[in-house]
A and B are shown apart, each in its own frame.
Chain A
């Protein structure tokens, strides 16, 4: 425990805290840290008596320790809020009282075609004083379901953790298994994984940008980007037989190859979509009614982003230069000269602008990768039953997505999923006070966090 506290005090970034059970069913504690080196630092301790909570010195640990307490019953000393995350009946919402304070309850069933979650606003007039999140409505016990399965079967579950970025989850899980087994996917598979990851980002960023416009009463760009996203889904179908890249990644490589005609189809679709998105964005950022709504709305101050361990586009739009592709590169990213884009303002506009910059970069990376696909097999032969610990991270469209797993005799003994959304949700309430409640959908969309990815 002590080395973790010291490293955190010295500025290491907390990545995850979770539990596991040893062969004797005794609980073990795990900490993952990023100390600005390519390899994450991993610590494991047996639980002997009460454990001092990290949260008082580092708010980024808050939800991790609540989950640890709920799932493994670990006594945590000094944690300010140990209400369970999943068991809502035992987790009363905090109330703000006072003259003129009203409560507004939203969800879990929302108005759009979106995932369920409950938002409790305390408002004074239009201004939001406080937002409390009640999530984990889509908690499916995914990590527990993986236990006792073969890695190949658990991969199917990893693909269903957060369905709109299923390929990121499949790659992160597969690379964690490969790390445990000291396997290396063939070069061509690594390049195809890069293409899939960047394509997923391009689609997500384009759709998010359009949806942000839709949320300020400007539906035309939303329709426009929905068309761009569909064109990329259809190109994927034509090139690889699947719209969403499900079932393509497997342990040891890729399930199928991309032929020259398929690569050409994908490349053309990506370049056309990227060009249209760039020119759309230029016009949108030149539209005063949009800029007026985006600017200074939902500011996440850099200090809060750092304290809460925020990752991904939300971190980079608040000035934090964090990106797995540069900081912890794997596969084809290791040989890439990658520049992390950051913006300083931390408002909706910064998060919108950042997505446009990153979408353009993704299109360039896809083009470069497709242009120089290494010729090799796309998958290793099925490995012998694996054993050992593995850890792998990818930069998913929402940020750092990490899988840690322990394999025994070819079966998953424990798998921990640290999704970027689990890490980032607690930051949303920090970006809200002082804004009007009518801007909440816009601010929420600018973070675009996954509910199922968080809830698992």
Chain B
């Protein structure tokens, strides 16, 4: 061991982000939109939906829907209708079931068909994995943007291990598969085999716009689809890429740790 490096490391600034601040930072830097319901008018809704390249914002009949699974954070909706779209702050749409990633409003700004409440936290999952969770990350075709942010979870700012969560080298050691997509034709078989090699009980979390919905690549013949087109998925973490704050919120929510 080179003593100088040890000394330098000991002298380096303490950067650990406290859990609360990390959760409050949430979406910062992730470019996810939030809808300002009080500003909703038919005209702004039409403008924002027309600007969306992935149909994450969709206008039908008398409702505007925002599907976070499809959103790549390009910001075009905010440019087209700045009064209607603000940066998202809290990652409430991370680590939830697919249906809970969609928010709907009537065009007068009232929530449409109030989304059914999320299922109560599962005691069984919490008991099994709540304090010690092994994750195997699987890249099933991503651009590596999500992987870079997932890897950041281990850096000295975030130190994911403090939650008893760590990454393991084999699916056979894993409780949870953290899967990025879109799932390509060449990776579908390997993803299925990895899922089968993971001992039950197991959880699967789909990560990123591509993992959640196949994103920009949905129409490609080289792509099978989102992760849930190939293996069963428990929860979803959207984003392009999701920030470490969104990833943490999503993982803790999946474990029913609040």
Q: Give the B-binding residues of A (Cβ under 8 A).
A: 86, 88, 108-109, 111-116, 136-142, 144-145, 153, 156-157, 160-164, 166, 220-221, 223-224, 226-227, 229-231, 233-234, 236-237, 241-244, 246-247, 255, 276, 279-280, 283-284, 286-287, 450-453
Task: Report how far A230 CA is from B220 CA in the complex, Å.
Answer: 33
20 A-B residue pairings within 8 Å (CB atoms): A108-B187, A111-B169, A113-B150, A114-B139, A137-B187, A139-B222, A140-B222, A141-B221, A145-B217, A156-B74, A157-B216, A160-B145, A160-B210, A164-B144, A220-B6, A229-B152, A229-B155, A247-B31, A247-B75, A283-B2
Q: Which stretch in B7-15, B107-115, B124-132 binds the other chain? A: B7-15
Q: Within the complex, what minimum Cβ distance (angstroms) separates B134 from chain A?
A: 13
Query: Which residues of the partner chain B approach A224 to less than 8 Å between Cβ atoms?
Result: 5, 8-9, 12
In the assembled complex, how far is the CB of residue B15 from the closest CB belonging to chain A, in whole angstroms? 6
Chain B, 186-221, CB within 8 A of any chain A CB: 186-187, 190, 194, 210, 215-217, 219-221
- Taking a contact as CB atoms closer than 8 A, the residue among A86, A109, A139, A163 that contacts B145 in the complex is A163
Asked whether A116 lies within 8 Å of B139 as measured between CB atoms, the reply is yes
Contact check: which of A86, A137, A286, A451 meets B4 at CB < 8 Å? A286
Complex alpha-carbon distance, A226 and B151, angstroms: 9
Contact B142 A164 (CB under 8 A): no
| A-side contacts of B9, CB under 8 Å | 220, 223-224
The distance from the CB of A154 to the nearest CB of chain B, in whole angstroms, is 10
Q: A139-B222, A145-B217, A163-B241 are in contact. Are A116 and B190 (CB under 8 A)?
A: yes
**A140–B220 contact, CB under 8 A?**
yes
Contact B219 A137 (CB under 8 A): no
Residues of A within 8 A of B138 (CB): 109
Question: Which residues 116-153 of B sit at the A interface, judged by CB distance below 8 A?
Answer: 137-152
Apart from A163-B145, A220-B5: 4 A-B pairs, beta carbons within 8 A: A114-B139, A144-B222, A160-B240, A247-B73
Would you call B29 and A160 a contact (CB within 8 A)?
no
Bound-state Cα–Cα, A157 to B169, Å: 31
| Closest B residue, CB atoms, query A236 | B29
Partner of B147, one of A139, A153, A160, A163: A163
User: Complex: how many Å from CA A198 to CA B155?
Assistant: 22
State A108–B187 Cα separation when bound (angstroms): 8
B68 to chain A minimum Cβ distance, whole angstroms, is 16
Tell me the complex Cα distance, A109–B144, Å: 14
Contact A163 B2 (CB under 8 A): no
Please tell me if the beta carbons of A230 and B155 are within 8 angstroms of each other in the complex: yes
- Given the complex of chains A and B, what is the CA–CA distance between A144 and B221 in angstroms? 10
Q: Is the CB of A137 within 8 A of B6?
A: no
**Which residues does chain B contribute within 8 Å of A452, judged by CB atoms?**
141-144
CB contacts under 8 Å to A, within B7-45, are 8-9, 12, 15, 28-31
Q: In the complex, A247 Cα to B139 Cα: how many Å?
A: 23
Whether the pair A283, B139 counts as a contact (CB closer than 8 A) is no
Q: Whole-angstrom distance between the alpha carbons of A256 and B137 in the complex?
A: 34
Question: Which residue of A116, A141, A241, A255 is within 8 Å of B222 (Cβ)?
Answer: A141
Decide if A286 touches B2 in the complex (CB within 8 Å).
Answer: yes
Cα A111 to Cα B169 in complex, Å, equals 4
Smallest Cβ-Cβ distance to B152: which chain A residue? A230
Q: Are B241 and A244 in contact (CB under 8 A)?
A: yes
B148 to chain A, nearest CB (A): 5
7 nearest A-B residue pairs (beta carbon): A163-B145, A237-B29, A141-B222, A111-B169, A163-B143, A226-B155, A141-B220
A138-B73 in contact given A243-B29, A246-B240 (Cβ < 8 Å): no
Q: List the A residue with the shortest CB-CB distance to B141.
A: A138
User: Within 8 Å of chain A (Cβ to Cβ): is B154?
Assistant: yes
Is B164 at the interface (CB under 8 A from chain A)?
no
B53 touches A115 (CB 8 A): no
Residues of B within 8 A of A237 (CB): 28-29
- Whether the pair B15, A227 counts as a contact (CB closer than 8 A) is yes
Give A323 Cβ to nearest chain B Cβ, in Å.
23
Q: Give the docked Cα–Cα distance between A237 and B170 (Å).
A: 34
Q: Report which of A161, A221, A233 forms a contact with B143, defined as CB distance below 8 A.
A: A161
Decide if A241 touches B144 in the complex (CB within 8 Å): no
Cβ distance A317 to chain B, nearest Cβ, rounded Å: 22
Question: Shortest distance in angstroms between B50's beta carbon and chain A's nearest beta carbon?
Answer: 13
Contact B73 A116 (CB under 8 A): no
Q: Taking the complex as formed, is B157 at the interface, i.e. its CB lies under 8 A from any CB of chain A?
A: yes
The reply to whether the CB of B235 lies closer than 8 angstroms to some CB of chain A is no
Cα–Cα distance between A229 and B194 once the two chains are bound (Å): 31
Residue from B4, B158, B220 in contact with A144 in the complex, judged by beta carbons closer than 8 Å:
B220
Nearest CB to that of A140 among chain B residues?
Answer: B217
B65 at interface (Cβ–Cβ under 8 A)? no
B155 and A451 within 8 A (CB)? no
Contacts of B170 in A (CB 8 A): 111
Chain A proximity of B179: nearest CB distance (Å): 11
Contact status A226-B142, CB under 8 Å: no
Tell me if B63 is interfacial: C-beta within 8 Å of chain A.
no
- A163 — nearest CB in chain B belongs to which residue? B145
From known contacts A246-B240, A255-B75, infer whether A166 and B145 are also in contact, taking CB-CB under 8 Å. yes
